Amino acid sequence: MTTATEAKERVGPPSKAARPHPIRDTLIRRSGIGVLTLLLVSILVFAATQILPGNAASAVLLNTATPARLHALEVQLHLNRPAVEQYWTWLVGILHGNFGTSLANGQSVGTLVGGRIVNSAVLVVAAGVIGTVLGVGLGVVAAARRDSLLDHVLSVGALAITALPEFVVAVILVIFFAAVVWHWFPAVSVFVPGTAPWSNPSALVLPVATLVIVIVPYVFRMMRASMIDSLESDYVQMAQLKGVPRWRILLVHALPNAIAPTIQVIGLNFLYLAGGVVVVEYVFNYPGLGQALVSAVSDRDIPQIQCIVLVLAAFYVAVNILTDVISLAVSPRRRLPRS
Amino acid sequence: MLGRAVRTPRGAVGLAIAGCVVLVAAIGPAVAPYSSTEFVTKPFARASAIALLGGDTLGRDVLSRTLDGGWELLLMAAAATALGVAAGALIGVVAAYFGGWTDNVLMRSVDVILAFPQLVFALLLVSILGPKIWLIVLAVAISHAPQVARVTRAASLDITERDFVKAMQILGIPGRRIIRRDVLPNLTSVLMVEIGLRLTYSILVIAGLSFLGFGLQPPAASWGLMINENRVGLIANPWGVLMPAILIALLTIGVNTFTDSVARASLGVGGRSTEPDPLVGLAVEGASA
Amino acid sequence: MTAPSEDIPVAAADASPAAPHTDGTPRLAVENLRILTAPRRGRPDADVVDEISFTVQPGRVLGLVGESGSGKTTVALALLGYFKRGLRPGGGKVLLDGQDILALPEHELAKIRGRAIAYVPQDPASALNPVLKVGTQLREVFTVHGADPATLNDVLAEAGLEDPAPILAAYPHQLSGGQQQRVGLAMAFACRPRLIVLDEPTTGLDVTTQRRVLDTVRGLCRSYQVAAVYISHDLAVVAEIADEVAVLYAGRLIELGQAREVFASPAHPYTRGLMRAVPVLESTYELHGMTGSPPRPGSRPPGCFFQPRCEFAVAQCELRQPDLVTVSATGHAARCIRAAEVTALSGTAILAAGRAQPPSDEPVLSISGVSVSYSDKPVLRDVNLVVGARQSVAIVGTSGSGKTTLARCVVGLHKDWTGTITFAGHALAPGVRRRSQDQLRRIQFVSQNPYSSLNPRHTVGQIVGAPLAHFSKLSGREHQQRIDDALTSVALRASFAARYPDELSGGERQRVALARALVVNPDLLVCDEVTSALDVSVQAAIVELLLRLQAERGLALLFITHNLPLVRSIADDVTVISAGQVCERGPVTQVLSEPSHAYTRQLLTDVPAFERG
């Protein structure tokens, strides 16, 4: 029999022994799902390359195929074994770091791609960080001055820029800053693969700028929207009615709440950058993964394509895990259960 | 609701801009002064009376090629969007309504596709089978499906939780009928906005593919391809690059703006009335696991 | 540290609470307050509230009463100089000890808020920032106003939180509703304010917690001689705690006076109507609703706002807004030309007439040994219940007691239960799938939330017609006729059939939901908190409707609610549930007058008492 009186409840953080570890659990669970996803991706990639009409050998040799050469290449590429066995050999090889040899130039794919990962990483990280900081800052400002002229200009601008394809942005930047109007930066980078990209910063500016312009609007809009949501919430109203000064409301009350949904978008942006990098590297002839992918596709260099796609997928999984964990860390409501 | 959107300034402007570009692309080939493969002037010649926008990389008329170069892009983008949204919506609704195993299996399989950036997925398929039109449309459609499925699933879950669906379930009405009669009509606003967003992405990806040389092959006229071809002569005659770039930009800005106005208009019907930026909510909803 | 009590003349502290203070300036004086909508393109300004004037003395509580749309929250926030987006002040003064709040610039206002004037919000859960610890938010009040944080623990103890450390270290979502509300109270009283504004602070709390919060508020007000304005739509609560009462209708103050006087002999027809709609625990009063609804800002008539719905209306009422007419020496006044007549009428309440047909003994629904568990937690344990034909049985419990789950089991929405449920002599299968068409038709359900129970994309006609189309094959004309009949029986005009739900009010939507349930002529109607989301007068109208329909059609009614006084007015039998178990069952008069179970006794003590004339 329970009485209706308000029982003395235990409240607050549970004791150490009983405390669950949501962050650690999420990390483990997401990593598991991530590995599964990568596996599925590898199957998809491999299966896709298996559905060539004819087969990889004929695709490579094209017009120069004679039955003899075709057969020789098939044996070399293990194409005469059953599909599952081929997949297995391939997968095992990858887990040992052996991605095969490039069909285009005979070099080890692993080394080719490895050298370029850093270059692309520089672009992605630089653009990601700058874009995020800019987007978050502008979003907070626009929300704080909602419906002002600044807000309208920024919002309309974001809407317009979001719609532009990267190659258009890249080309416009080239027109303005490299080729036609001013000549501040090189239109095309003259890197030798293997040299550190930061050794020539002026060649980095336009590619990074392009990527930044492409992702800032997303972060800006999300930050602005969730900041506005925050500022219209009951708890901000309560803080105002307690007499809390405006700056403290913005930074201490509203911002921490607005960050959580924005983290999702920031993660999404990093993923988008992985794709955007393809076009940008192509335009600026930047020696990164994207440019390699484009040439590999033109050359139908299957091993290189497989490798790059897998690297991108691994990046996707890693970013997803990070996003989920950070998201959780920032929301006490999801992280700590009611006791 | 579409009517309401058109009456707002944003909606009207967006629709007008996009409409103009569609018009140019549609009737362009009929009014082009020259054929798109005809050589009419010197490579990268400046604008003149013969060639109003000057010559391109091979001396063909930029104006004619621009007028010819849009309709395929539009058709492909429209087809890819329609396919992708239809497939994604179906998956999302089924996953939401039946829940449990069905839901898990469907959504996890669809998630694998998300591991590929849209452009990369299309490139993968193109690398194997060559730059065929149907392949590009299919690849782009498949890469849309996961996002659409997620958004539709989230919206369907919200709807199926509502009491009016339960009210129908109590009567013993079979699930299929409830989905058709009660759930689907409430999804239209979400779907319309998704169509707009996906259309923008379709245009961007397909134009991007064409830019990289994996769309329509030369000597065909295609806006993306033109931008790439004429890059080298940017200083001599920028129109070869500017004109198609402006058209693509106007198209996507117009579609995006109109979609935004549709999203705002749809808030009146069963949505939150204080949403500061409706498109953003959908973008994140589509992405969260 | 501020000690505002020192400013008050000593006489006030000694005076008994019953006598009004007449010396010194009132703590709060509102003069002709007017609030408008902010200007927008294409829409003229509309006034939201106007001509609001009242005073509150130190240590006294003024109850501000009104239904939705009356403007009471707008007025409450204006007392702190705060206006929501879309609203702005349009005239009048808010004087705190003679100083006009509305004339202060923003930074001065920030100094006063939280210190001289405090606010206790309606929903404590959403008023606390989810990402900041409770301690941080409490200490903030001290640091922002320069008060001494050492008194933090005392403040918490006063608010009823004895062991503060775990609460301060927790995040808001880790506390219960009652604890959250106490934190809200602590924040409000922390700096010993001179005026405190409480905006429906006990809505959503169970009756027992509500009782404790009310006691705390009253205690603190008396100790510190704080003037309080208590906003509520719950007349019983206001009757308990308020010394004076002001009634708002459509943005106007239509009655003002000592609480006991206003409730005993209301001087305004609207207040009178409200009193006839409030259910009372002690006797079985007939509940009466009022037809129509209040006019919104922008569509208010030139004359008296209440006139279209008023049974005392005369031709003169349409001409202009009446002034406040005083009807007694103690300051009781009402905005009605016939105020003196209205107040002289005795007996607002009418004892309910006996039922037309005595309920038969043959049970239409019989629940025995039903149990439900989610994972390992039991939600319902061995529940037994009987509903006879033409009988109305209420199930009463707090949230979490399992009453909604029970309803869902009966109706087939919830499948995982053990035990037996018999309907009209045959056992009911657990889920909807395995029940016969006949069973499905004869048991119908109306849920709580009128805003989600109707498909926004269908017209009212389609909504009401859906069950009909499913269970019977009728010609087009017959089908339409049945829909029209169903609508008329719930007092909606047949023309409603073409409307969409978003054009209807909450009360109208519930009527549509009822029509949908009744169109197939069920034998049993299960109502799950169908009036909880509605205003008092609308609730009364729905209850009136349900009782009439029950008499006309011989319906059995299973009525689930947490509102104990309401049970008195609607049910023959009542079952009290707590934590999934039946505590007590029996005829309403018996259980409510002579409860045998301790839980029932506790509930009855905690329900706010309400005396009526």
Residue B115: list chain A partners with CB under 8 A. 37-38, 41, 312-313, 316-317
Nearest Cα residue to C12 out of C242, C194, C188, C240: C194
**Count of all residues that appear for chain C in the document:** 613
Residue type at A91 in one-letter notation: L
Q: Chain B partners of C453 at a C-beta cutoff of 8 Å? A: 162-164, 167
The structure tokens listed for B288 are 């969260």
Q: Are strands C227-232 and C61-65 parallel, antiparallel or unpaired?
A: parallel
Do residue A225 and residue B253 have CB atoms under 8 angstroms apart? Answer: no
Answer yes or no: do C453 and B269 touch at CB < 8 A: no
**If 0-12 CB within 10 Å is exposed, 13-18 middle and 19+ buried, where does residue C494 land?**
middle
Q: What separation in angstroms does the CA of C176 have from each of A328, C124, C125, C165, C201?
A: 22, 10, 9, 15, 14
Structural contact between residues C463 and C452, judged by C-beta atoms closer than 8 angstroms: no
Return the pLDDT at C347: 65
Instruction: Give pLDDT, residue A132.
Output: 92
B186 to chain C: closest CA residue: C457
Q: How confident is the model at residue B274 (pLDDT cuts 50, 70, 90)?
A: very low
Give the model's pLDDT for residue C285.
77
Residue of chain A whose alpha carbon sits nearest to that of C207: A4
Q: Which two tokens stand for residue C598?
A: 């301790």
Tally helices (H) and strands (E) across chain B: 13, 0
C405 interfaces chain B, CB cutoff of 8 Å = no
* Mean of all residue pLDDT scores within chain B: 84
**A240 contacts in C (CB within 8 Å)?**
82, 110, 113
- Give the helix/strand (H/E) hosting A37: helix A22-50
pLDDT in tens, B77-97: 999 999 999 999 989 988 887
pLDDT tens digits, residue range C344-379?
886 666 666 655 556 666 788 888 888 888 877 888
The token duo for C12 is 């006030």
Decide: helix, strand or coil at residue C577: strand
Give the pLDDT confidence score for residue C13 in this predicted structure: 33
pLDDT band at C148 (very low <50, low <70, confident <90, very high): confident
**pLDDT value of residue C356:** 54
CA within 13 Å, CB half, A279: 33
Task: Kindly state the tokens that stand for C336.
Answer: 């009605």
Work out the burial of residue A108: count CB atoms within 10 Å of its CB; fewer than 13 is exposed, 13-18 middle, 19 or more buried: middle
Chain C residue with minimum CA distance to A257: C131
pLDDT in tens, A85-115: 777 777 887 777 777 777 667 677 777 787 7
Per-residue pLDDT at B281: 55
Report the C-alpha gap between A162 and A153 in whole angstroms. Answer: 14
**What was the ipTM of the complex prediction?**
0.82
* Interface membership of C449 toward B (CB under 8 Å): yes
Amino acid (1-letter code) at residue C26? P
Residue type present at position A114? G
Q: Is the model's pLDDT at A12 over the cut of 50? A: no
Beta pairing partners, C31? C93
Average pLDDT over residues A167-192: 76
What is the spatial distance between Cα C220 and Cα C156, in angstroms, rounded to a whole number?
12
C115 near A CB under 8 A: yes
Q: C529-542 burial, b if ≥16 CB within 10 A, otherwise e?
A: bbbebbbbbbbbbb
pLDDT in tens, C518-574: 999 999 999 999 888 788 888 888 898 888 888 888 889 999 998 888 888 888 899
Q: Residue A338 — pLDDT band, cuts 50, 70, 90?
A: low
B224 and A167 within 8 Å at the Cβ level: the answer is yes
Residues of chain B by 3-state class (helix, strand, coil), percent to 5: 70, 0, 25
- For A224-251, the pLDDT digits (tens) are 988 998 998 999 999 999 999 999 999 9
Neighbours of chain B (3+ CB pairs under 8 A): A, C
Query: How confident is the prediction for chain C on average, in pLDDT?
Result: 85
Share above pLDDT 70 across residues of chain C, in percent, rounded to a whole number: 93
Element (H, E) at A50: helix A22-50
Closest to B241 (Cβ–Cβ): which among A163, A171, A265?
A171
Task: Determine if the peptide bond prior to B219 is cis (ω within 30°).
Answer: yes
A13/C126 CB distance under 8 A: no
Cα–Cα nearest to C67, from C299, C322, C294, C313: C294
The CA distance from C559 to C550, in Å, is 12
